[in-house]
Structure 1
Amino acid sequence: MGWLFVFLAASSEMIGVVGLERYSKEKTLKNGMLLLAGFGISFALLYASFHYLQVAVAYAIWTGIGTAGAVLISMFFFGESKNKSRIISVLLIIIGVTGLKAVS
């Protein structure tokens, strides 16, 4: 159950990142609510995961998935650079998160 909470928290964080990007360009109530709801739900789900998993492991995996997801969303939906270095860096984050989950 803890892993489910972490993955849902990371997904919500990515929704918050989309809200942050949209709110930075157009300050509307809808974009602000997307930003606040995404990050708010993300923190609540992360906190819930602490009842099942070690805080350090849950936090590291949530951060890694959220970071990789935010970079990928920014590259594919918001036109940020897709250079080789960025893609390799995201792959390294994914490998690290996968490795941490495998040994936990």
Structure 2
Amino acid sequence: MGWLLIFTASIFEVVGAVGLKLYSQQKSLLRIVLYWGGFFISFALFYFSLRYLDLSIVYPVWVGLGTSGAVLANMFLFNEPKNIQRLIGLTIIIIGVVGLHLTM
């Protein structure tokens, strides 16, 4: 259950980051709801995941997956550069998250 919560929290962190990017481009109610709602739900799910998993695992996984997802979302939704350096960096983050998962 804890892993499902933290994975879902990471997805909502990406929603919040995309909402923030959209809101910074044009102010609207939908965009601020994506921004604030995404981060609020993400943080709430992060909080509840602590009932099942240790903070030393949950926090880096949440941040790592959220960061990776935000980078990928920006590459595909906002046409940010897709270069080898970014892909190597994402790979390293994902390897770290998987490594932490294996320590459980």
Using the size of structure 2 for normalisation, the TM-score is: 0.98
Aligned twin of 1:28? 28
Q: Quote the offset at 1:18 in angstroms.
A: 1.0
Q: Please give the residue correspondences for 1:10-89 in structure 2 after superposition, counting only pairs within 5 Å.
A: 10-89=10-89
1:6-64 Cα shifts (integer Å, max 9, x gaps): 00000000110110110010011110011010000000000000011001210110000
Large movers: runs of 4+ above 3 Å: none
Kindly tell me the number of residue pairs found equivalent between the two proteins: 104
Aligned twin of 1:99? 99
Q: Quote the offset at 1:71 in angstroms.
A: 0.4
Backbone CA RMSD of aligned residues: 0.6
Extract unaligned runs of 5+ from structure 1.
Answer: none
Extract unaligned runs of 5+ from structure 2.
Answer: none
Matched AA of 2:86: R
Matched AA of 1:8: T
Matched AA of 1:30: L
Using the size of structure 1 for normalisation, the TM-score is: 0.98
What CA distance in whole angstroms lies between the structure 2 residues aligned with 1:79 and 1:42? Answer: 25
